[in-house]
């Protein structure tokens, strides 16, 4: 017996905007996780320059969101 898959409608513009927000939240989490992993390895702590060197993103707003997540995980309110 062949199972039929229901086709979903194309995303609306609002959905696309929320996809961008969701993606930025995942980038923030990547930065946060990178800082937490580094703090487990390096018990002497890291500074902001370490975050800049580790940041894989070169364009905005991705770069600043990753840096924000990294800084918050390290206990710094700003990148």
DSSP string, 22-46: HHHHHHHHHHHHHHHHHHHH-TT--
Find which of 2-6, 7-11, 15-19, 23-27 is predicted with most confidence, using mean pLDDT.
Answer: 23-27
pLDDT for 27 beyond 90 = yes
Q: What is the pLDDT of residue 19?
A: 73
Q: Per residue in 40-58, pLDDT tens?
A: 666 555 555 777 889 999 9
* For residue 61, cis peptide bond before it (omega within 30 degrees of 0): yes
**Model confidence, pTM:** 0.68
């Amino acid at each position: 017996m062949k199972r039929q898959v229901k086709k979903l409608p194309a995303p609306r513009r609002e959905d696309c905007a929320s996809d961008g927000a969701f993606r930025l939240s995942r980038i923030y989490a990547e930065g946060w996780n990178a800082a937490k992993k580094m703090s487990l390895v390096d018990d002497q702590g890291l500074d902001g320059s370490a975050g800049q060197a580790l940041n894989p993103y070169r364009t905005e707003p991705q770069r600043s969101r990753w840096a924000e997540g990294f800084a918050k995980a390290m206990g710094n309110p700003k990148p």
